[in-house]
Structure 1
């Protein structure tokens, strides 16, 4: 079955997502029985239709954008994919709510509206019988969000802790080698690990945001009401056999509280064993024991692959809301 997809945002993640749909459309149709066809790409104020080839026209050829509801009706899109910047504006929320009202699933790598409008999005999705998928916003290609959303359902998850920001892990390892922080950050940027503005990475803000979203998926917490306490990345000595890690955590028995702390982790542990920009999350599942997920590419293509996974899941699984 052909599934029209409308994409908002054509930066690095959006371009990678569009490229993946173009490159793998036939293979996914044969393998999963879902024909994902990109029908339109929208920028901030412009738009372009996408033909059967999947090729996106150069930006100078784009037209002025119409209202998102009109675009969804015109294209018949069944999936609305978001890769717009998490810049604090209200565009992401407005368009996601409009898409759900029009009967489209929402797949997003944008965090802003998830932090402020979680319950509104969930209500709108449930009312429409559509899903909101957020893997790209919780860990790029690492499927931590999938575990929190559905895989660990019924496991009585008591707590979750993890290294959710690859830049922080990379910088801490360089600090342990006595590399100055500014030099470590510059190196991370040269390697494409860190973005130009690393303030949220080093302050713990980004890790806290991702943990707020994971806690919302696990326990239904409202991210907007979650209290955050974050310790910034800094040099600190640790005992032999340990590595300093920037660990975000939340516990079911402490509802609405997320912490990010520097923690000396044994090198043999899931978090202490991380190297470079790797990420990992461990779920304390009570009688079922700990469950850890790690790895996954931290890059625009990694986030785009997470969006593809979510797009296929939304169409194939038929769930509503964030579940």
Structure 2
């Protein structure tokens, strides 16, 4: 069995960043500003170009970048011990995200990813590559940005016999439903989400329940060991009919929520349903684009994590957190 690739001094540890859009830039700036003693971005891969960097080097103008090379070659030249993925979760980027992850993991390079698509289609293959290379995968940015739901699923409720998940992991849908409850049309609610920078330009995955189902699938995969690629999904869409329901619920101490659920009693299935929740429900108290996940543990009691608004900053910070947690413990006692 291969030994785990534990990061050791000397520091700073070299990191390769794949994707330099808003999320990738947030990660880069925050890692450099706050954690440059321990890590540095040794290389950045854009859509068709790349650049190598020293520990204190500034990112040059794009005209000075070079054409993209194979990921194995780039990892070798940079000496990276961690690959951070911030490329879009799109069909176009899917083959690249998968190739980068499989290659890195098999070579003993840890992967921190905010990219979702390849996690959904090749969960077991990624797991096998990590076993081969003795490497680790961290996906906080793909399961709810700053909301530490992935950490709870992976270690926080370990041993507590969690039997079910109820979640509102999509901040855009919560924001839109609350605006509709105040009288906005669906179109106006979406426009306001765009104006405030809460929603991406294409909200189809948010309103259809697809994004909430995706995040819940990933959480269930870590919690119960399910093969994420084989989980069945059943979703309900936010539409004009939801305006009527949301408006009626707002006057009776209830709120309409797009609730994603999974349970060991219905293995390998995730549903997203529009539910009226009362003020006793933790999901009632979400405001704006906040998110929440409740883990139902029969003996320990329900455990809910709540907050973590959707934003490039939140996703960037989630990836920084995952990178920091790959650093070997240097203290004793409670730390």
**Pair in the same fold by TM > 0.5:** yes
Conserved in 1, the CA contact under 8 Å of 2:18 and 2:46? yes
Q: Please show how residues 226-241 of structure 1 align to structure 2 within 5 Å.
A: 226-233=231-238, 234-235=242-243, 236=245, 237-238=248-249, 240-241=252-253
The aligned residue for residue 12 of structure 1 is 22
- Describe the SS at the equivalent of 1:14: helix
Conserved in 2, the CA contact under 8 Å of 1:160 and 1:249? yes
State the Cα distance separating 1:54 from its structure 2 match: 4.6
- Describe the SS at the equivalent of 2:198: coil
Q: Please show how residues 303-322 of structure 1 align to structure 2 within 5 Å.
A: 303-316=315-328
Conserved in 2, the CA contact under 8 Å of 1:22 and 1:55? no
Cα shift readout 1:293-323 (whole Å, capped 9, x = no counterpart): 0111311110011001111112337xxxxxx
The aligned residue for residue 37 of structure 1 is 40
- TM-score (norm. length: structure 1): 0.93
Q: Please show how residues 1-323 of structure 1 align to structure 2 within 5 Å.
A: 1=9, 2=11, 3-26=13-36, 29=37, 35-88=38-91, 89-233=94-238, 234-235=242-243, 236=245, 237-238=248-249, 240-316=252-328
State the Cα distance separating 1:59 from its structure 2 match: 1.6
Conserved in 2, the CA contact under 8 Å of 1:21 and 1:54? no
Distance 1:242 1:189, change over 3 A: same
Conserved in 1, the CA contact under 8 Å of 2:291 and 2:309? no
- Describe the SS at the equivalent of 1:245: strand
2-structure distance, mates of 1:313, 1:22: 16
State the Cα distance separating 1:267 from its structure 2 match: 2.3
Any unmatched runs of 5+ in structure 2?
A: 1-8, 330-335
Cα shift readout 1:127-169 (whole Å, capped 9, x = no counterpart): 2111000000000000001000111111101000111111100
State the Cα distance separating 1:189 from its structure 2 match: 0.3
2-structure distance, mates of 1:137, 1:230: 19
Aligned length: 310
- Describe the SS at the equivalent of 2:178: helix
Conserved in 1, the CA contact under 8 Å of 2:140 and 2:151? yes
- Describe the SS at the equivalent of 2:174: helix
Conserved in 2, the CA contact under 8 Å of 1:226 and 1:256? yes
Any unmatched runs of 5+ in structure 1?
A: 30-34, 318-323
The 4+ residue runs of structure 1 with deviation greater than 4 A are none
1-structure distance, mates of 2:35, 2:222: 30
- Describe the SS at the equivalent of 2:266: coil
- Describe the SS at the equivalent of 2:282: coil
Give the root-mean-square deviation of aligned CA atoms: 1.2
1-structure distance, mates of 2:188, 2:89: 27
State the Cα distance separating 1:8 from its structure 2 match: 0.4
Conserved in 2, the CA contact under 8 Å of 1:204 and 1:230? yes
Distance 1:68 1:263, change over 3 A: same
2-structure distance, mates of 1:201, 1:16: 22
1-structure distance, mates of 2:58, 2:167: 39
The aligned residue for residue 332 of structure 2 is none
